[in-house]
Amino acid sequence: MKKTFFALLAVLFLFIQANIALCHPHIFIDAELLFVFDDRGLAGVKERWVFDEMFSQSLLVDFDSDNDGKLNKDDVSRLRDIFYENTKEYNYFNIITIDGRKFPIERLNNFTVSIEDNRIVYEFFVSCPVRVEPNKKKRVKVLLFDETIYTHLLIEDYKVDMKKKPDAFSVDMKYEMLDEVETPLGSLVPDSVVIIFRKK
């Protein structure tokens, strides 16, 4: 009877497991984040997405209209429009929280596309102003994530740009990992970057 019970549980478990999505990564992106500060606090995040070479070549076939190995203004506009249209509802694959509250992105700024070492590179600025009050810490978390899992985004690097107001703020930054991805096989990958800052 015990065996039967456990077997039935196993079947139910298999059944529930089926809710894992019918999709998985086919595009891989290495991302870099640059947290840009102005005199009030955080102005936003400049992002740089480098696509894997295999998919980059497919993108070029579709969007390099004159087959010269470069992307002209119209090609970039088409790439931008499709990217905006397909990802706007997904907050452009950015899940940004400010002190725990979700920040909706209205639009991306300064969107450009280039080709580096046979790889397509998207660059854009996410305006995300966070004004810092005296003696108050602010916590911003950026997670790059395609919830359909068609695209896998890895934050490879993150930096701070404080050229406009050097030494005005003290900043702590760290990767935050999801406990769930800790496996005995290792290969832990940072999933999000957390930046905590306050006025000096």
Partner 1 sequence: MKRLVLIIVLLFCFGPSFVAAQNPFLDQGKDNTETERSEEGFSPPSFLQKIPQFIVIWQKKLRAMMTTFGRDIQDQPFGSSFWLFLLLSFVYGVIHATGPGHGKTVVASYFMNRPGTVRDGILMAYLIAFFQVASAVVIILSIYMVMKTVSMSSFEEASPILYQISYSLLCLVGLYLFFRTVYELVSGKHTNSTGSNDPGKKGGGFITALAAGIIPCPGAAIIFSFTIIIGILGTGLLSMVFVALGMGLTISVASVVTIVSRRAMFHVTERNPKIFVVVYSVFSFAGSLLLISISSMMLLYYLR
Q: Is 53:30 a contact under the CB 8 Å cutoff?
A: no
Angle (CA) 27-33-36 rounded to 5° is: 150
Is 135 a binding residue for partner 1 by CB under 8 A? The answer is no
- The long-range contacts involving 106-111, CB below 8 angstroms and separated by at least 24 positions, are 108/84, 109/44, 111/76, 111/80, 111/83
Residue 77 interacting with partner 1 (CB under 8 A)? no
User: Judged by CB, which is closer to partner 1: 161, or 182?
Assistant: 182
By CB under 8 A, is residue 25 in contact with partner 1? Answer: yes
- 69 touching partner 1, by CB under 8 A: no
The correct pick among 88, 131, 137, 174 for binding partner 1 (CB under 8 A) is 88
Closest C-alpha among 44, 7, 6 to residue 124: 44
Binding to partner 1 by residue 191, rule CB under 8 A?
Answer: yes
Q: Please tell me whether residue 106 binds partner 1 under the rule CB under 8 A.
A: no
| 54 touching partner 1, by CB under 8 A | yes
168 binds partner 1 (CB under 8 A): no
Footprint of partner 1 on this chain (CB under 8 A)? Answer: 1, 3-4, 7-8, 10-12, 14-28, 51-55, 57-59, 61-62, 78-79, 82-83, 85-90, 93, 95, 97, 100, 102, 143, 145-152, 154, 178, 180-181, 183, 185-189, 191
